[in-house]
A = this chain, B = another copy of it.
Amino acid sequence: MTDAAPHRVRSEVKAPSHLYLEDFAVGQVYEAGPIPVSADAIKAYAHQFDPQPFHTDAELARSTFFQGLVASGWHTASLTMSLVVQALPIAGGVIGGGVDELRWPKPLRPGDELRLEGEIAEVRPSRTKPNQGLVRVRTTTLNQDGQAVQTMIANLVVPRRPMERA
Contacts and interface: CB of A to CB of B under 8 A. Distances in A.
A126 interface: no
A107 B104 CA distance: 25
Nearest to A92: B65
Contact of A93 (B49, B65, B85, B102): B65
Question: What is the oligomeric copy number?
Answer: 2
Interface string A29-45: 00000000000000001
Interface string A75-98: 101110110010000001111101
A99 B102 contact: yes
Contact of A99 (B51, B78, B99): B99
Given A74-B74, A74-B81, 7 more contacts: A49-B78, A49-B81, A50-B78, A50-B81, A52-B85, A52-B93, A65-B92
